Amino acid sequence: MAKRVLIAEDEPSIVTSLEFLMRRAGFDTRSAVDGEEALSLLETFHPHVVLLDIMLPRVSGLEICRFIRGQPALAGTRVLMLTAKGGQREVERGIEAGADDYLTKPFSTHDLVARVQALAADTPLRIAPGPDPRFPP
């Protein structure tokens, strides 16, 4: 059973490239172009790994990260933060919010895939897709 990767990124061409890369690596992939969409996909899609742009419209990547860390049901979800600013402060804020790893744009695709695979391997498989009783519909 393939592990699930959620791509939360507002730049369409980057989304396209990430979707391609994740599928190639054998992951089940969904994409969200803003924070709200990402939140709803978290509940329905139950990703093992989230590729999270820190500058997401509507609900920022940091907020989403904190949300994930606050949900027991998502305890197994790993977060790979993507940042385009690359400043140390940005990275610190991401780590504080609960990101497991981060990459600065532009990144090496090999590096990205390797990291996602490492994070996915660290994730318990039992995160099941489908509605979770703890989440209201």
Partner 1 sequence: MLEGWVIVAASFAYIGVLFAVAWFADRRAAEGRSIIRNAWVYSLSLAVYATAWTFYGSVGRAATDGVGFLPIYLGPTLMMLLGWFVIRKMVRIVRLNRITSLADFLASRYGKSALVGALVTVIAVIGILPYISLQLKAVSTSFQILLGYPEIVMPPRAGTLVAMQDTAFYVALLMALFAIVFGTRSLDAAERHEGLVAAIAFESIVKLVAFLALGVFVAYGMYDGLGDVFARAAQRPDLDVLMAPLEGAAGSYATWVWLTVLSMIAIVLLPRQFQMAVIENTDERHLRRAAWLFPLYMLAINAFVLPIAFGGLLHFPEGNVDADTFVLTLPMTQKVEWLALLVFVGGLSAATGMVIVETIALSTMVCNDLVMPVLLRIRALRLTERRDLSSLVLDIRRAAILALLLGGYCYYLLAGEAYALVSIGLISFAAVAQFAPAIIGGLYWRGGTRAGALAGLSAGFAVWTYTLLLPAFAKSDWVGAELIEHGPWGIGLLRPTELFGLSGLDQITHAMIWSMIANVGAYVAASLARRQSAAEHVQATLFVDVFQQTGEPGSSWRAATSAAALQALVGRFLGPARAAEIFAAHARGRGVKSVDELEGDRDLVRFAELQLAGSIGSASARTMVATVAQEEPLGLEEVMTIIDEASQVIAHSHRLEEKSRALEAATQELKAANERLKELDRLKDDFISTVTHELRTPLTSIRAFSEILHDNPDLDPAERQRFLGLVIKESERLTRLINQVLDLAKIESGLAEWLTAEIDVREIVLEAINATSPIFRSRGVQVQTLAAESVPPVVADRDRLLQVLLNLLSNAAKFCTPGKGRVQVRLAVAGDRIRVDVEDNGVGISPENQALIFEKFRQVGDTMTEKPSGTGLGLAICRRIVGHFGGRLWVESEPGRGSVFSFELPAAAAGRLVANA
Residues in touch with partner 1 (CB under 8 A): 10-14, 16-18, 20-21, 24, 33-34, 55, 57-58, 84-87, 104-110
Between the alpha carbon of residue 56 and those of residues 2, 114, 116, the distances in Å are 26, 24, 20
Q: How far apart are CA 71 and CA 58, in angstroms?
A: 20
Q: Using DSSP, state whether 80 is helix, strand or coil.
A: strand
CB closer to partner 1 out of 13 and 72: 13
CB closer to partner 1 out of 11 and 43: 11
Yes or no: say if 49 and 120 are a contact pair by the CB < 8 Å rule. yes
What's the min distance (Å) between Cβ of 19 and partner 1?
11
What's the min distance (Å) between Cβ of 65 and partner 1?
18
What's the min distance (Å) between Cβ of 89 and partner 1?
10
